[in-house]
Amino acid sequence: MINDILNTFSISEQNPGASDGVQFISTSGAGINSWSPVDGHKIAGVQTVTKAEYDQVITKAQAAFRYWRTVPAPARGEIVRQIGEALRVHKDALGKLVSYEMGKSLQEGRGEVQEMIDICDFAVGLSRQLYGLTMHSERPAHRMYEQWHPLGIVGIISAFNFPVAVWSWNAMIALVCGDVCVWKPSEKTPLSALACFRILTEVFNKNQLPEGLCSLVQGGKDLGEWMAEDPRVALVSATGSTRMGKAVNITVAARLGKCLLELGGNNAIIVSGDADLDMTLMGVVFGAVGTAGQRCTTTRRLIIHESVFGQLTEKLKNAYAQLRIGDPLDARNHVGPLIDKDAVAQYLQALDAIQNEGGTFIVEGGVLEGAEYASGCYVKPCIAVVENHFAIVQTETFAPILYVMQYRDMEEAIAMQNDVPQGLSSAIMTLNLREAELFLSVAGSDCGIANVNIGTSGAEIGGAFGGEKETGGGRESGSDAWKAYMRRQTNTINYGKELPLAQGIAFNI
Ligand code: UN1
């Protein structure tokens, strides 16, 4: 099955590492092998770029930008529309490759490609709606307005957990804005990125677009640093750990460049005494174990009202007992593997830390063994009773570990929800209007995403996606997140015969 998919995308044993969107440049950096966490097999390898090859890609991107910025935005949207169409054709194959290379369930792999299609549709509409304001000038015979121009090269650093969707959120919006993109995907998922480029190349070639419009560069930390340091990269959009984001932010800030950061989350659901517990159960289990706990939006903490704590934890124990863990390509399984053995080691360290800090497990964790789990990356989703201040609870562990704790009154619950360094997603389960509105009010959740009667994960692309505090403050995807990919210019035009100064200043010569 996987060989057919690799063939579909012309992925061979060893693949060139840099593409300018039209042709693949052969690269001479070290190789990266992609291992599937599903069965531990090596899928294929890619070649990384050297600094000189990276520079070549950037030079082509600069040239492409000089052309692309002059193409009318709706015409740019037409290209993105065609990319969306091509993704529809390849949805199944790309979804499977994502699932096999990254380890998320087939449903979620397909869902990820659907997110790409959705953002294409959104970007097409947006290409006719890059609105600026007009304002009244205080001076007679003057007109003021603002317009949005593209930035130039957008560097995209993406993470393994959404190996293709997060790139598309950035790239599709950036393209309609008139920017060109250079993408450094995660070293753990280079082939899903390559497959996207095969799809993109088809569309670009068909439309005879120049090289360098979108580029794919494979590499590690060094490559990320070259992009962060590079004044030719106008915006660096980085998704990943808070540690990585801080490093990128410092380097980009030192050259006064622009950054868009999507970093860690430590997302909580508050479960009120007035919650619909069946609905809560669904939201919590999907949020906590979906993508094996490796979403930025994964539900990590449950803050439960004391009146329903026993009842809900019982329901959770039963639900967890029914979870099927195994090959994510088998639609009957709910939970696939973690990305690699390092992730398994971090999961095990977290389990130790929970115990050392005095936490207790109501659903035990552990690594699964046996032929079906030969990759060594399959772990049991677990649930621990903890206190919010534990160092391990304050940390994002990318694994299916759910922390539960109790509260008495809603103010206390909101304080607990907010009392972590991260601020991405949050939710409340309640049928009580006062509680819901308090949670959404200025005195409520401090996160970029706050939901009512929905879990913390599974956001739609139409909203702005991102969070506060150590999550990095960036917003991507829908709403007016496009503004981060453009520069605003304020224009004042004098169509009169005098030159009056603003603020009534007199200056006579
Ligand atoms: C991420 O985990 O990096 O809201 C992105 C969600 C998805 C995107 C998650 N739409 O869970």
| pLDDT confidence of residue 22 | 76
3-state helix, strand, coil in the chain (%, to 5): 40, 20, 40
Strands (DSSP E) contained in 58-166 are: 134-135, 142-150, 153-157
Element of type H or E holding 188: none
Q: Which residues contact 97 (CB under 8 A, 6 or more apart)?
A: 2, 5, 6, 9, 109, 191, 192, 195
Which pLDDT value is given to residue 20? 79
**372 catalytic, yes or no?**
no
How far apart (Å, rounded) are the C-alpha atoms in residues 381 and 368?
11
- Reported as a pLDDT band with limits 50, 70 and 90, residue 44 is very high
Q: What is the pLDDT of residues 437-476, one digit of tens each?
A: 999 999 999 999 999 999 999 999 999 999 999 999 999 9
Tell me what pLDDT residue 28 has. 85
Residue with CA nearest ligand 1 atom 7: 458
Tell me if 76 sits within 8 A of 123, measured CB to CB: no
Q: Find out whether 194 and 503 touch, Cβ atoms under 8 Å.
A: no
Q: Say whether pLDDT at 157 is over 80.
A: yes
Q: pLDDT category, 23, cuts 50, 70, 90? A: confident
Q: Are 181 and 129 in contact (CB under 8 A)?
A: no
Q: Which residue reads 């009773």 in tokens?
A: 385
**Residues 6+ away with beta carbon under 8 Å from 489:** 146, 147, 148, 149
The residue nearest atom 3 of ligand 1, judged by CA position, is: 296
C-alpha to C-alpha distance for 153 and 123, rounded to whole angstroms: 18
List all residues whose CB is within 6 A of at least one atom of ligand 1. 115, 161-162, 166, 239, 295-297, 457-459
Does the pTM exceed 0.95? Answer: yes
What mean pLDDT value characterizes the chain?
A: 97
* Confidence band for 184, pLDDT divided at 50, 70 and 90: very high
Cα–Cα dist 111/331, whole Å: 13
pLDDT at residue 509 in the model? 85
Percent pLDDT > 70 in the chain is 100
What's the confidence (pLDDT) of residue 412? Answer: 98
- In 24-70, which ranges are continuous DSSP H helix? 51-68
Q: What is the 3-state secondary structure (H, E, C) of 323-356?
A: CCECCCCCCCCCECCCCCHHHHHHHHHHHHHHHH
Residue scoring higher pLDDT (14 or 51): 51
> Which atom of ligand 1 is closest in space to residue 425's alpha carbon?
4
* Residue tagged active-site, from 115, 262, 396, 476: 262
> Token pair of 349, please?
């360290």
Residue in 296, 298, 398 to alter for ligand 1 test, most ligand atoms within 8 A of Cβ: 296
